[in-house]
Amino acid sequence: MGLNVDLHSHSTQSDGVLAPAEVARRAHEQGVDCWALTDHDSLRGLDEAADAARALGMIFVPGVEISASFCGQTVHVVGLNIDPNHEGLRSGLARIRNSRFERAREMGVRLAQCGVEGAFEGALRQVGNPDLIGRLHFARHLVAHGHCKTLQQAFDRYLADGKRAFVPIDWAALDEAVGWILAAGGKAVVAHPGRYRYTPLQQRALFDRFRELGGQAIEVMTGSHTAPQCSHFAQVALEYGFQASRGSDFHAPGAGRVDLGELPSLPESLVPVWRDWLEDV
Ligand code: AMP
Ligand code: MN
Ligand code: MN
Ligand code: MN
């Protein structure tokens, strides 16, 4: 039995529902030995997470999930083992959070045009980190106030790409996101590659560019992938010489396909992204 490694999860510092220390506790209960907190575009939960993980005897990897743009779509890049005090990374993320705030105001306007008043203020009440607002906070507000039955319905009706309250956003360029992660001493990982709607040609361009920039890994085992997608991206990792990551993308108990630490192990043929860190363990 290898170590149980989970390198993708969210807390109340972005759009998760548990505080960083509570995510740590749940990861530990779920049998995770090595855990990363990777909130969207924020490093604020990392101190609390590190302290909690240490107290529980878990190996902690400081992380972040950066929202980036490539070929007109959003792509998420996870940074692992980053230095949370790196100025370039910090200022880049601050810029993204600012765009998020402006987008949220505009989403409030769009929702009002759909007959849903006060959604911006309502979404703000769902937020744990006053600096970070996202679509899931709007979705929770829409469900809490009876506008939608489920989070999925809130996305399908209003929030998903191209829907009535969708407001496109200029995230960081892929080049910038990878650059900040590497400058902060981390490894860059393409998150849930199976979720993007790229053509095969665009997907090749993404992986080629990512590798040119110094990106090291892709997520193979993630709560977002079906079993065939896991096999497909294992093949992609081998083809490109990428290391492979494993992460549940945990947001809330009972939400999503898998809980912390629950995914299958990586195929033996792949090099785990954590290999260099855990050599001595
Ligand atoms: P944002 O980064 O603010 O654009 O919001 C993206 C986040 O919304 C993702 O990280 C997910 O947590 C969540 N999300 C996206 N699509 C869905 C969906 N269909 N159902 C539930 N949550 C979703
Ligand atoms: Mn999220
Ligand atoms: Mn993501
Ligand atoms: Mn995520």
Please give the chain's pLDDT, 281 residues, in tens.
589 999 999 999 999 999 999 999 999 999 999 999 999 999 999 999 999 999 999 999 999 999 999 999 999 999 999 999 999 999 999 999 999 999 999 999 999 999 999 999 999 999 999 999 999 999 999 999 999 999 999 999 999 999 999 999 999 999 999 999 999 999 999 999 999 999 999 999 999 999 999 999 999 999 999 999 999 999 999 999 999 999 999 999 999 889 999 999 999 999 999 998 886 54
Distance (Å) of CA 13 to CA 22, 80, 135, 137, 274: 12, 17, 14, 12, 24
Q: Are 207 and 240 in contact (CB under 8 A)?
A: yes
Distance (Å, whole) CA 34 – CA 28: 9
Distance from the Cα of residue 257 to its chain's centroid = 15
> Strands 59-70, 73-80: parallel, antiparallel or unpaired by DSSP?
antiparallel
State the closest ligand 1 atom to the C-alpha of 134, by its place in the atom list counted from 1.
3
pLDDT at 25: 98
The ligand whose atoms approach the alpha carbon of 132 most closely is 1
Nearest C-alpha to atom 6 of ligand 1 is from which residue?
135
* Reported pTM: 0.97
pLDDT at 280: 53
Q: Which residue has the tokens 């607002």?
A: 133
Backbone angles phi and psi of 120, in degrees to 5: -60, -50
Q: Are 48 and 55 in contact (CB under 8 A)?
A: no
**What one-character-per-residue DSSP string does 138-167 give?**
HHHHHHHTTS-SSHHHHIIIIISTTSTT--
Nearest C-alpha to atom 20 of ligand 1 is from which residue?
152
CA of 279 to the centre of ligand 1 (A): 35
pLDDT at 276: 87
Backbone angles phi and psi of 196, in degrees to 5: -85, 155
The binding-site residues of ligand 1, defined as CB within 6 angstroms of any ligand atom, are 15, 40, 67, 134-136, 151-152, 155, 251
CA of 280 to the centre of ligand 3 (A): 30
169: left (phi over 0), alpha (psi -120 to 50) or beta: beta
Q: Are 174 and 209 in contact (CB under 8 A)?
A: yes
Pocket test for ligand 1, best of 100, 103, 135, 157 (most atoms within 8 A of CB): 135
pLDDT at 1: 57
Distance (Å, whole) CA 13 – CA 176: 22
Helix (H) or strand (E) holding 212, with range, is: helix 200-212
Nearest C-alpha to atom 22 of ligand 1 is from which residue?
136
- Which residues, including other chains, have CB under 8 Å from residue 254's CB and lie 6 or more apart? none
Pocket test for ligand 1, best of 77, 78, 136, 137 (most atoms within 8 A of CB): 136
